[in-house]
A and B are shown apart, each in its own frame.
Chain A
């Protein structure tokens, strides 16, 4: 009870006058709006998860590799979105070159418990997406 009284007294002593509060309110609203706009812009720049579904076109782009088919690409996509997010968010696929992606997936496959065939499927999916984006 005493604690509550002390807090109430303190709150009253520090309370701004109504006129001062009226002047401060529009200024605070302005700052809040600017902050919200800045936050929205920065958030929207980082909101993209680019993991497109597998298409026939992607499989065709890998036609030179006979071991890559639609099923393998689908498996690669599933593994990519399940295994990689256990440690980090997914970087946009255009952030790295095809050569870089192969090295990145190879280096992280062990950490993500990817078997060699699964690792190949993830690489095949990423390369197929990049190939069809050209």
Chain B
């Protein structure tokens, strides 16, 4: 009797949860954002893990995102946990972040689907602002995506150190079946230490991706290799996003 009571609550919760599920949307890319926003009232948990490998070092970055559809055009993302593990420094908590995405046009019926993205992340002695212009076009089974990103960060005591980054990213994804897509992602970034052009670092990454979805969950994986030869940057990056609606 006791054991029946013990399992009653989890069984009730598990049977109610699927009825409350509403999927926020599938990510076809991991390094790029897409123009469509989540439906109003939908909630989704996304877990993102990035492994970066360089000459003699390995880093891992872990992000948890709670994605909430507010209106048909506005989406809120909350990142309560940003973690990283560095081969030379162990685990590190990197604070949290909040993002808003506002959709302006649709990638199917309008000439280009446009969305605006703003993220603010805060940690101890660290403040970062990330703004994006997201452009997407759906052509039959193809999704063509473009992101232009401006990132500014302030860190160290008194937030005296400043860095900037300009990034352009291109992606193409082809839907083999309603459940499976494959594609390619291309990243071109300029990092400006202290916002100085003479110290500019240029990186180019390119690689394939694959996305699989079923029911209320999806998983997308991208492997990127560095095409340029920047010494302190990752030679190889692998990013996985697992999302589940609840």
Q: A-side interface residues toward B, CB under 8 Å?
A: 43, 45-49, 51, 81-83, 85-91, 110-114
Contact = CB atoms under 8 A, between A and B. Distances in A.
A81 B37 CA distance: 12
A46 B139 contact: yes
Contacts of A85: 36, 106-108, 138
Q: What are the 6 closest A-B residue pairs judged by CB atoms, nearest first?
A: A86-B25, A113-B39, A46-B140, A113-B22, A111-B23, A47-B139
5 contacts: A45-B140, A81-B106, A85-B107, A86-B23, A89-B142
Contacts of A51: 108-109
A110 B139 CA distance: 25
Nearest to A4: B229
B213 A87 contact: yes
A47 B175 CA distance: 12
Given A49-B108, A113-B22, A89 B36 contact: no
Given A81-B106, A87-B213, A49 B138 contact: yes
Contact of A90 (B23, B37, B138, B216): B138
- Interface of chain A, main secondary structure: loop
B141 A111 contact: no
Contact of A82 (B106, B174, B213): B106
- Using C-beta atoms within 8 Å of the partner chain, give the interface range for chain B: 20 to 34
B42 interface: yes
Contacts of A112: 23, 39
B26 A88 contact: yes
A62 B206 CA distance: 50
A111 B36 contact: no
A111 B245 contact: yes
Interface in B166-195: 174-175, 178
Most chain B Cβ neighbours within 10 Å, of A51, A82, A88, A90: A88
Contacts of A90: 108, 138
Contacts, number: 75
A43 B172 CA distance: 12
Interface string B36-49: 11111110000000
A82 B213 CA distance: 18
Which of A47, A48, A111 has the most chain B CB atoms closer than 10 A to its own CB?
A111
B102 to A, nearest CB: 14
A111 B106 contact: no
Contacts of B72: 82
Contacts of B175: 88-89
A43 B216 CA distance: 30
Nearest to B69: A113
A110 B245 CA distance: 11
B78 interface: no
A30 to B, nearest CB: 25
Nearest to A50: B140
A49 B139 contact: yes
Contacts of B140: 45-49, 89
Contact of B42 (A43, A81, A89, A113): A113
B21 interface: yes
Given A85-B138, A113-B22, 16 more contacts: A47-B140, A49-B138, A49-B139, A81-B106, A82-B72, A86-B26, A86-B36, A86-B38, A86-B39, A87-B23, A88-B213, A89-B143, A110-B21, A110-B22, A111-B216, A113-B39
A43 B21 contact: no
Contacts of A111: 21-23, 216, 245
